[in-house]
């Protein structure tokens, strides 16, 4: 298949020019706003008026954080030489991880203003994010950007992106939209439908997004970014066997000691080891036709996703561990409770 390369302009109204990329971000914001009003009827953590107030700050955090993240992580030299291009949002260029930190700062301010616990706010917003991510990835696909690695031309859904070259490639924008968008939304929406310990929903989001993003990065053309073409950590096929063995030992120890915070990374490494072994087996049987190179490397997205998975696992352990004394210490460190602030007494005079 050939990428259709649609006109980047969706429609015009007089002097107003609406591009597909901007339209997808508008749909992302509106879908999250609508879902928030639906979700608050299931989990009444705030009022509809507070949702509308918080939406402004979150939208601001996504826009500024996502753009600054892209500028600093992916092409700082260009934007240093062309600072006016930083404001050219219509040309694309947003970073999820930058937007993620932008939302964190926005929610910190919202939690402080509304006097809420930090993780109460993040638990409420977590199920609203995946559909927004899905619309953003659809915008990437329409723009024909962030294409995948070269694929076997016999792959039914392989696609040529003329902006890149004439090679058949993986349409990873669709992979992103399907996994960290639609699939993660279904998981979180069902999981958040019932009362959960504080931090659990946020933990599932971080763990799920990190896992899906880690997998998709194997099929995505590595971003050059500030780390240039190589991101440093090489993982050969030989690593799968000892990795699986170490993971089984970690899971066995976690079960004996009931330390579930060890079970989370253990399960991840076990899954990664098995998946990597299977991929390498298929690659060898197919004569090297798989997407992975002989010594594949972890991309910047995968390194950041590993950190997200670690934080997600820590949150889930904090939420569900029977060792409440240790969990309380971690919880107090991670969860600023703005609702517990005390006001200074007013001067009686």
Q: In the chain, what are the domain boundaries?
A: 9-233+297-337
pLDDT in tens, the chain (349 residues): 888 888 878 888 877 778 888 888 889 999 999 999 999 999 888 888 889 988 899 888 888 888 888 887 777 777 888 788 787 765 667 777 788 888 888 888 888 888 888 888 889 999 999 999 999 899 889 988 888 889 988 889 999 999 888 899 999 999 999 999 999 999 999 999 988 888 889 888 988 888 888 888 888 887 655 444 434 343 433 444 554 555 455 445 555 555 555 566 666 666 666 666 556 555 544 444 444 443 445 666 666 677 777 777 777 777 777 666 666 666 666 666 676 554 444 444 3
In whole angstroms, give the CA distance from residue 86 to residue 68.
8
* Residue 205 CB contacts under 8 Å (≥ 6 apart), including other chains: 126, 127, 129, 130, 184, 188, 312
Burial annotation 190-216 (CB, 10 A radius, 16+ → b, else e) = ebbeeebbbbbbbbbbbbbbbbbbbbb
Reading the block at residue 316, the tokens are: 């889930």
**pLDDT, position 339:** 65
In whole angstroms, give the CA distance from residue 297 to residue 233.
6
3-state secondary structure of 113: helix
**pLDDT, position 19:** 82
**pLDDT, position 329:** 62
Write the CA distances from 207 to 190, 204, 214, 306, 312, integer angstroms: 16, 5, 10, 9, 5
**pLDDT, position 77:** 77
**pLDDT, position 131:** 94
Taking only Cα atoms into account, the Rg of the chain, rounded to an integer number of angstroms, comes to 22
């Amino acid at each position: 298949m050939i990428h259709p390369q649609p006109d980047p302009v969706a429609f015009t109204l007089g002097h107003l020019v609406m591009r597909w990329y901007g339209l997808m971000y508008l749909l992302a914001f509106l879908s999250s706003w609508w879902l928030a009003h639906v979700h608050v009827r299931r989990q009444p953590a705030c009022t509809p008026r507070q949702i509308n107030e918080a939406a402004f700050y979150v939208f601001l955090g996504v826009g500024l954080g996502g753009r600054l993240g892209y500028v600093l992580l992916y092409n700082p030299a260009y934007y240093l030489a062309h600072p006016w291009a930083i404001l050219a949002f219509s040309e694309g260029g947003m970073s999820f991880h930058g937007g993620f930190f932008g939302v964190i700062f926005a929610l910190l301010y919202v939690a402080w203003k509304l006097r809420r616990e930090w993780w109460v706010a993040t638990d409420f917003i977590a199920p609203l994010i995946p559909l927004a991510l899905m619309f953003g990835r659809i915008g990437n696909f329409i723009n024909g950007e962030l294409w995948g690695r070269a694929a076997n031309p016999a792959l039914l859904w392989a696609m040529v992106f003329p902006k890149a070259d004439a090679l058949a490639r993986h349409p990873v924008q669709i992979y992103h939209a399907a996994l960290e968008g639609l699939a993660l939304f279904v998981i979180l929406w069902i999981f958040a439908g019932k009362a959960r310990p504080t931090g659990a929903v946020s933990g599932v989001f971080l763990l799920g997004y990190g896992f899906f993003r880690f997998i998709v990065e194997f099929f995505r053309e590595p971003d050059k970014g500030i780390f240039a073409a190589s991101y440093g950590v090489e993982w050969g096929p030989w690593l799968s066997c000892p990795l699986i063995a170490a993971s089984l030992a970690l899971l066995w120890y976690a079960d004996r000691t009931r330390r579930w915070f060890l079970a989370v990374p253990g399960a991840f490494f076990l899954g990664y080891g098995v998946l990597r072994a299977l991929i390498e087996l298929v690659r060898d049987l197919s004569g090297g036709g798989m997407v992975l190179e002989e010594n594949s490397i972890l991309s910047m997205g995968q390194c950041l996703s590993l950190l997200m998975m670690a934080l997600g696992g820590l949150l889930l352990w904090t939420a569900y561990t029977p060792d409440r004394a240790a969990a309380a210490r971690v919880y107090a460190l991670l969860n600023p409770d703005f609702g517990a602030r005390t006001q200074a007494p007013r001067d009686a005079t």
